[in-house]
Structure 1
Amino acid sequence: MSKSRTAANSKIFLEAQDCLKLAIPLAIAQLFDIAINFTDTVMMGLLGSQTLAAGALGSTTYIAFLWTSSGMISAVGILAAIAFGAGQLQRIRKIACQGLWLTVPLSIPIMLLLWNMTPILLQLGQQESTVLLTQSYLRAIVWGFPALIGFSVLKNLMSALNHPQLIMMIMVIGVVVNAIGNYILMFGKLGLPALGLAGIGWASTFTLWGQFIAGISFISLDKELRTYQFFGHWYRFNALVFREIFKIGLPIAILFAIEISLNTCIAYLMGYLGTVTLAAHQIAIQTTQIVFMVPLGISYATSMRVGQKLGENDLKGVRRSGFVGMALGAIFVSIVALIFCLFPDSIAGIYLDTKNPENAKVVQLAIALLHLAVASQIFDGIQVIAGGALRGLKDTRVPLIIGLLVYWPIGLGSGYLMGIYFHWGGVGLWFGLVLGLLSVAVSLIWRFYCKTTGLLASRAIAIQEN
């Protein structure tokens, strides 16, 4: 009994090591990804408050489409991880090619929509002068969208094949290149015209294409990856594999869209409650979003580990990979939650001068919301990793149903009831958000447990019959 327990503990330890080898570079890559947006926002502020508002509006719109599209593309990583675990080299090549094919039908309609956002934004009540600036930004950055989706395909492939370091390195360089490009094109340096906000959009486009080309180059030059010959037959369309990617990816994309719409709606309701509430909410949500990049990296790693074990037909390994990923995420978010509890005033001080009496109300409310963010961070981190584990099993439809039944009815419904109807304000809206995330986390963990239990039971029956 002691030997078996020691062996089990050893397997858990080894799984944690393998998961972290994937998760750490992916988490760093996610942090540098958000660093690009942060840099853009800071540099937009150099052009004035109206430019900052217009840029924020354009960036929010662009990121919403990016996040939804990345849900679709994540199916490439899931299928590649399963094929990698099964040692199916030719299938990985087909998945890679069809993933790149998918960038075309995915990018074109989104590019057309981004190009023609002016009437939509005006209908949403945005000021015309702001919308005109926003459109100049969107019509510059829109040309980088295909490269962004293509790079997402490469990121998923490299993660599935246990090579996330390449992606991390490219994204770190991308932050520096983007900042330099912003400066040159915003202010018209090196003899170029000063393009203002549009210059930031063009800098992002050039950076995105640079990242995509660098990704293809690294894959083509790397001694190990070259054996896969990913792009040897890129022109061959495989309807069966393409349809499989679409079938798995569509529910993920819809679920991501639901999550984005929930967060956007809550932000609008915060604005309805006043500028103090909205400012305090921005401090809390911005802080949690930065921290969330680490559980998101662990989620991607967990998807790949579960997929690889599924490909190896190691069903006990599948369950172990999923729950080890959740445990690692829980440990990290618990440490962060403790920091939120102990130093909320210091966190608020990053964004505002806490000694200025004019900021007193915002700081006070922000501290209250950061205390609630302790719970939201724990539940959000666990639910995104549990969702990643299920995606590794190609289980995407049930998580979508859970999201439809929980995020809006429970998360937004209870938040609206407490925040608006019962006049709890921003605190009530955050209570609803926490309740929604808790419900999703419990549901997804239970789903993973039931799914893996069913797989193990089927295996046991098959062994008995043979």
Structure 2
Amino acid sequence: MTSISIRSNIQTEIREFLKLAIPLASAQVAQATTGFVDAVMMGWLGQEVLAAGGLATMIFMAMMMTGIGIISGVSPLVAEAYGAKQNRRVGQITRQGLWIALLLAIPGMMIIANLDGLMHQFGQAENIVTLADTYLNVMAWGLFPAIAFAVLRGCIVSLSEARPVMFIVVTATGFNIIGNYVLAFGKLGFPEMGIAGLAVASICAHWIMFLSLLGYMVWHKALRQYSLFKTLHRLEPKTMQQLLWVGGPIGITTLLEYGLFTTLTFFMGALGTPVLAAHQIVLQTLTVIYMVPLAMSYAATVRVGQWFGQRDWQQVRQAAFVSIGLAVMFLIVAAIALFTHSRQIIGLYLNLNDPANANVLNIGVSLMTVAAFGQVLDGVQRTANGVLQGLQDTRIPMLLGTFSYWGVGLTTSYFLGFHTDLAGTGIWLGSYIGIATAAIAFIWRFRGILSKKESRHPINGLTFKE
């Protein structure tokens, strides 16, 4: 293959990748902006509400993202079926994904609404637990639509239809932001609900997104060939088993990753309310930025999965490195912005002229400096994991993630946070050491598995069973 044709293939892959990644990133950033606005408004309600709301948000996100991880098998399986032109299978996977979403949401709601005892055991202050519990009792009702929306999103994006997701999420985000202000502060004749009002606005936005995307997929003519919701009432154990076989390890990996940051949040809370408030500011800021590499990982799963359906290993390799390379480029730019504008960013949440916030500001600047460059590593591991998901390789990455996040990250964070003078900064440093370990492990796994497949099945288009 000539250098011109290679360059042309790379340019084509970049273009196709960005056609998926840009709408997805727009949707993810818009959705994360809601959490950002939530955090800002929590800050307006006071340090205690900011600390408690951030803790509660992290708990809900951990549960929600675990559920989304478990149904993440929808995306690579639909992408493979799309690449192999198996239209009937696309509908089967989507329907059973919705059933799994429902079966996950019911116990998940019960867990979310009964975590006050656990928060007490982790040393959180009584007023923080009360406020966090108020938020979680309401947010529990948003778990099903959040997971079900992810099922539909995984399907439609794998069919190379990403724009509707962007429009729906952006619209729902606008509603959520307005609802936050109206309900939290009692505007337009509504009662002042405080932190509970933020939760009510958020669950309404989740339902709007789910029902809007469902309506689009039901009525859009081009999607009718897949019979997406035909015989929706019917359970298909074999298809559900395949989804859980691929998605179950993703869910466990997601739980471990979010569980790490939830545990670190508890660690920060044990160091005091100012440390926890600073942690929430930095974490919420990073969450908005993280949505871009997260969207890139979704696009990587789709592109790799589509080429996997065609058994084209050269294109699989190219799609993988395009996605990781673009993620790194974006995150380096973001790191520079965070490093040079940390005080201004913290000023969005708190009044920097108030002496009562001086301690939070100083801690926040230190954490932001560590996070600015550490999140580059986070983007690499996230995108590399998305590549592996496109190859439907999820069980070994689950083990690698367990070792990296908990064996390395958590233990290092605990040591640096509680046995050195680094305190909260040490907790963040330790987490990024674990994330760096995961990034290296996932890239090593991808190179190994692709080399094995190329040696076993060198001819594109060869059908096989592993």
Q: Same fold (TM over 0.5)?
A: yes
User: What residue in structure 2 maps to residue 384 of structure 1?
Assistant: 382
Instruction: Give the aligned residue type for 2:37.
Output: T
Structure 2 CA distance for partners of 1:405 and 1:311, relative to 1, 3 Å: same
How far 1:394 moved relative to its partner? 0.6
Determine the C-alpha separation between the residues in 1 that align with 2:59 and 2:286.
20
Structure 2 CA distance for partners of 1:182 and 1:358, relative to 1, 3 Å: closer
How far 1:53 moved relative to its partner? 4.9
Determine the C-alpha separation between the residues in 2 that align with 1:121 and 1:279.
16
Instruction: Give the aligned residue type for 1:307.
Output: G
Say how many residue pairs are matched.
462
Determine the C-alpha separation between the residues in 1 that align with 2:123 and 2:272.
17
How far 1:361 moved relative to its partner? 5.3
User: What residue in structure 1 maps to residue 369 of structure 2?
Assistant: 371
Q: How does 1:60-99 map to 2 (within 5 A)?
A: 60-99=58-97
User: What residue in structure 2 maps to residue 420 of structure 1?
Assistant: 418
Determine the C-alpha separation between the residues in 2 that align with 1:313 and 1:461.
8
User: What residue in structure 2 maps to residue 288 of structure 1?
Assistant: 286
Query: Does 1:403 find its partner at 2:430?
Result: no
Indicate the larger mover: 354-363 or 218-227. 354-363
Instruction: Give the aligned residue type for 1:311.
Output: G
Determine the C-alpha separation between the residues in 2 that align with 1:275 and 1:192.
31
Query: Is the 1:376–1:433 Cα contact (8 Å) retained in structure 2?
Result: no
1:362-402 CA deviation, whole Å, 9 max, x = no partner?
54444343332243121111110000000000111111111
Structure 2 CA distance for partners of 1:15 and 1:163, relative to 1, 3 Å: same
Identical columns (%): 37
**Candidates 442, 445, 456, aligned match of 1:444:** 442
Determine the C-alpha separation between the residues in 2 that align with 1:66 and 1:400.
18
Structure 2 CA distance for partners of 1:105 and 1:190, relative to 1, 3 Å: same
Query: Is the 1:375–1:434 Cα contact (8 Å) retained in structure 2?
Result: no
How far 1:171 moved relative to its partner? 0.8
Determine the C-alpha separation between the residues in 2 that align with 1:288 and 1:374.
8
How far 1:140 moved relative to its partner? 2.9
Structure 2 CA distance for partners of 1:176 and 1:56, relative to 1, 3 Å: same
Instruction: Give the aligned residue type for 1:212.
Output: F
Determine the C-alpha separation between the residues in 2 that align with 1:135 and 1:358.
26
Structure 2 CA distance for partners of 1:417 and 1:57, relative to 1, 3 Å: closer
Q: How does 1:12-161 map to 2 (within 5 A)?
A: 12-44=10-42, 51-128=49-126, 131-161=129-159
Instruction: Give the aligned residue type for 1:440.
Output: A
1:135-187 CA deviation, whole Å, 9 max, x = no partner?
44333332232212111111111111111111111111111222343455456
Determine the C-alpha separation between the residues in 1 that align with 2:189 and 2:273.
41
Query: Is the 1:258–1:407 Cα contact (8 Å) retained in structure 2?
Result: yes
Q: How does 1:323-362 map to 2 (within 5 A)?
A: 323-352=321-350, 362=360
Instruction: Give the aligned residue type for 1:417.
Output: F
How far 1:404 moved relative to its partner? 1.4
Determine the C-alpha separation between the residues in 1 that align with 2:189 and 2:18.
46
1:267-324 CA deviation, whole Å, 9 max, x = no partner?
3333444455444444433332221111111011001100010012211111111111
Query: Is the 1:69–1:106 Cα contact (8 Å) retained in structure 2?
Result: yes
Determine the C-alpha separation between the residues in 2 that align with 1:134 and 1:371.
28
CA RMSD, 1 decimal = 2.8
Instruction: Give the aligned residue type for 2:156.
Output: M
Structure 2 CA distance for partners of 1:387 and 1:120, relative to 1, 3 Å: same
User: What residue in structure 2 maps to residue 175 of structure 1?
Assistant: 173
User: What residue in structure 1 maps to residue 8 of structure 2?
Assistant: 10
Determine the C-alpha separation between the residues in 2 that align with 1:12 and 1:268.
44
User: What residue in structure 2 maps to residue 317 of structure 1?
Assistant: 315
User: What residue in structure 1 maps to residue 230 of structure 2?
Assistant: 232
